Amino acid sequence: MRICTITCSYADNQGALLQTYALARHLQKEGHEVQVIDYRPGYISYNPRLWYVPRSPKALGKLWLQYPERKRARKAHLAFSEFARKTIPLTEKVYYHVKDLRQSPPEADLYLAGSDQIWNTDLPNGTDPAFYLDFGPASVRRESYAASFGTSRLKPGTEDLVRDLLSRFDRITVRESSGLRILESLGLEGELLDDPVFLLSAGEWEAIADGTGEGEGYVLVYDFFADPAIRRKARERAGRENLKILSAGPFRYRYADRDFGASGPETFVSLVKNANAVVTNSFHAVAFSLIFGKEFVFVPRPDGLNDRIEDLLQRRGIRL
């Protein structure tokens, strides 16, 4: 079967790329011809520049001060892009807007809306018809795979849009129990499936790991919010066994002994695999800790987007 998936694949984010890779790899193993639609809307696409022409002396000073972080972000972007190029079967055509998909849709027997927070209506992608498969011939079957709304409720005013778009699906599966409740509130039915990263075994994930962290003793920090609670818990856990602290998040933390924030998914997977413990507020850091059987500490996100992690742990009988 020819299957085209769409998800937030063009993002400088470990979880986004790893779940994209996992679903495509799983479908290929089942014998399907798989392509991931290379969708790069402006609100997701990010290609950090090292330099630009400043408009004032003040802007020049800011440009100079931010250079180290821009250099780090640029290096990370190239690492993510290289991982996608090497491992993800992207369509040859790049699409930048849903109208591009409507004008020249990829040929397939099944369109599959992949996982991640593709239907989070608090974000631009949650109201983008592309992620609801609103393109291509009506004869093509439409399904979702462990799609996520990200929150426990839709943004007020988006209910009719989401209901209309999802009512065209032949099958809907979501990643969280809260997603089932949202579907029910819309008069729709759905099924519960785990995130695609759980489709691959620990051994399959180990095969893409690059060996970073092997033979070291460390606590891995993966933090999106520079949360003081994560810093405190990481130091406490590292102190008990005289371990180092390594960081793989989007920011550089002074309390970490080494920083891997500019590294790609192969390094991230390896760092989780070889860690003594993981301290995080990330869904996918928790997911890979479970896959590799690692001790982990989950610190709730300050933005409140914790439903997906809490649901994942509750279904495995793990108390926060």
Give 77-118 pLDDT, tens digit per residue: 999 999 999 999 999 999 999 999 999 999 999 999 998 899
Q: Are residues 178 and 218 in the same domain?
A: no
Percent of the chain at pLDDT exceeding 70? 92
Per-residue model confidence (pLDDT) at position 116: 87
For residue 304, being part of any structural domain is answered with yes
Instruction: Give the model's confidence band at 183: pLDDT under 50 very low, under 70 low, under 90 confident, else very high.
Output: very high
Confidence of residue 310 (pLDDT cuts 50, 70, 90): confident
Q: How far apart are CA 50 and CA 39, in angstroms?
A: 24
Report d(CA 319, CA 250) in Å as an integer.
27
Mean pLDDT of the chain: 92
Cα 48 → chain centroid: 19
Dihedral sign for Cα 222, 226, 230, 231, please: positive
**Strand ranges for 128-186 from DSSP E:** 141-144, 173-174
Kindly provide the residue ranges of all beta strands, DSSP E only, lying in 116-243, ordered along the sequence. Answer: 141-144, 173-174, 191-192, 218-222
Q: Is residue 307 domain-shared with residue 223, that is, in the same domain?
A: yes
The answer to whether residues 231 and 269 belong to one domain is: yes
In a domain, 20, yes or no: yes
Question: Sorting pLDDT into bands at 50, 70 and 90, what band is 54?
Answer: low
- Distance between CA atoms of residues 104 and 257, nearest Å: 49
Residues contacting 237, CB < 8 A, separation 6+: 219, 243, 277, 279, 297
What local confidence, expressed as pLDDT, does residue 221 receive?
Answer: 98
Residues 140 and 248 in one domain: no
Kindly state whether residues 145 and 32 are assigned to the same domain: yes
pLDDT category at 302 given cuts 50, 70, 90 is: confident
Say if 58 falls within a structural domain. Answer: no
Per the structure, how many domains does the chain have?
A: 2
Give the dihedral sign, CA 247/253/258/263: positive
Q: Report the percentage of the chain scoring pLDDT > 90.
A: 78
Please tell me whether residues 186 and 260 are part of one structural domain.
Answer: no
Query: Which of 175, 199, 223 corresponds to the end of one domain?
Result: 199
**Statement to judge: residues 186 and 303 lie in one domain:** no
Residue 249 belongs to a domain? yes
192 with 235, same domain: the answer is: no
Phi, psi angles (nearest 5°) of residue 93: -85, 135
Residue 307 has pLDDT above 70, yes or no: yes
Of 166, 199, 232, which residue sits at a domain end? 199
125 and 11 inside one domain: yes
Residue 247's domain spans which residues?
207-314
Q: Of 19-33, 136-150, 299-313, where does mean pLDDT reach its minimum?
A: 299-313
- Helix, strand, or coil (residue 274): helix
CATH (domain of 226):
3.40.50
In a domain, 73, yes or no: no
Q: Would you say residue 143 has pLDDT above 70?
A: yes
117 within domain boundaries: yes
> What's the DSSP call for residue 292?
T
217 shares a domain with 128: no
Inform me whether the pLDDT recorded for 67 exceeds 90. no
Q: Are 163 and 186 in contact (CB under 8 A)?
A: yes
Q: Summarize the confidence of residues 65-69 as an average pLDDT.
A: 67
Could you tell me if residue 62 is inside a domain?
A: no
Instruction: Say yes or no to pLDDT of 135 above 90.
Output: yes
Confidence of residue 187 (pLDDT cuts 50, 70, 90): very high
Based on the domain organization, do 224 and 147 belong to the same domain? no
Per-residue pLDDT tens digits for 204-245: 999 999 999 999 999 999 999 999 999 999 999 999 999 999
- What is the C-alpha to C-alpha distance for residues 228 and 251, in angstroms, rounded to an integer? 13
Q: Which of 199, 216, 250 is at the close of a domain? A: 199
- Same domain? For 190 and 255 the reply is no
**Position 222 in a domain:** yes
